[in-house]
Amino acid sequence: MLVLAQQSQEAGGSFWNRLAAAFDGAVSYLDILNRPDDLLELLRQVHIAVAGVLFVVGILCVLNGYRWHKWVIVVCAFLSGFGFGYLLSRTMPQPYVIAGVIALMAAVIASPLLRFSVAFFGGVTGAFVGANLWTALGYPHESLLAGAGMGFILLGMASFLMFKHVVMVFTSIGGAAMIVTGGLALLLAVPQFEETISNSVRTNQLLVPLFLIVGAVIGMVIQEGQRGHAAPKAPAATSH
């Protein structure tokens, strides 16, 4: 009995250790735009099929994020669940199976809890922006949780007051990030472009953030235009 109890405690401790390590791993990528070498290393690890999916989903998010926000939330929940599940189980046998199960669970939960899901993904977007601004302003990487936390709280809470605007912000920024990530990963997989892309990212650290900002602004403009056209028109006054 003592042996079983000890094994149970070790298994429980191992799970929480893996969970903490997965969380730390996810947080460490938040300011990846300010670390070009780490960004290139991450992009080279992205499978070409995953890069293609990210690129396509990113385009859909930027162009139709608000119009299709329910489906976008489900897809983002699936991708986020898969990524976090992989970080959680990458040292275990068959990590992709475990990641797939967690991804399905996240997608199923996200659909009925739409407003809270928007708050979460809006908060994650705010954390991403806040962490990159934090380290870009010269604050140490070790304290990026402060900047990420402020961004998470700000945009997460704003979603309950400005739901539609936060949807447009997080789908535009998130979609632009997926386009840049998927596009660069696909280009790095082509030997003729690998050296050129690597040198450009290393020598001009503003290149990737600039692409992301331009894509996000384009997405917000397009989605705001779609939202304006979709708004019901007031009936014309009739004279008697």
pLDDT (0 to 100) of residue 205: 85
Higher-pLDDT residue of 11 and 172 is 172
pLDDT (0 to 100) of residue 229: 62
Q: What are the helix and strand counts (H, E) for the chain?
A: 10, 0
Q: Is the pLDDT score of 7 beyond 60?
A: no
- Domain extent at residue 183: 34-227
Tell me the pLDDT tens digit for each residue of 36-92: 888 999 899 888 998 998 899 899 889 888 888 888 888 889 988 888 888 777 777
Residue that has been written with the tokens 């962490």 in this structure: 131
pLDDT (0 to 100) of residue 80: 85
Q: Is the pLDDT score of 240 beyond 50?
A: no
What percentage of the chain reaches a pLDDT higher than 70? 88
9 inside domain: no
Q: Is 24 buried (19+), middle (13-18) or exposed (0-12) by CB count in 10 A?
A: exposed
> What's the whole-number mean pLDDT along residues 28-32?
81
Q: Which amino acid is at 115?
A: R
45 inside domain: yes
| Number of structural domains the chain divides into | 1
Q: Is the pLDDT score of 180 beyond 90?
A: yes
pLDDT (0 to 100) of residue 92: 75
Query: Closest by alpha carbon to 218, among 181, 171, 158?
Result: 171
106 inside domain: yes
* pTM, entire model: 0.78
**Backbone torsion region of residue 231, taken as left when φ is above 0, otherwise alpha when ψ lies between -120 and 50, otherwise beta:** beta
Q: Is the pLDDT score of 102 beyond 80?
A: yes
Q: Say whether 67 sits in a helix, a strand or coil.
A: coil
> What's the whole-number mean pLDDT along residues 179-205?
91
Q: Is the pLDDT score of 115 beyond 80?
A: yes
Higher-pLDDT residue of 234 and 4 is 234
Tell me the pLDDT tens digit for each residue of 133-144: 998 888 888 888
pLDDT (0 to 100) of residue 228: 64
1 inside domain: no
14 inside domain: no
Q: Is the pLDDT score of 98 beyond 60?
A: yes
pLDDT (0 to 100) of residue 152: 93
Contact 64, 227 (CB under 8 A): no
135 inside domain: yes
Instruction: Using alpha carbons, list the distances in angstroms from residue 199 to 13, 48, 168, 176.
Output: 43, 21, 33, 22
Q: Say whether 166 sits in a helix, a strand or coil.
A: helix
220 inside domain: yes
Cα 132 to Cα 152: distance, rounded to the nearest angstrom: 13
2 inside domain: no
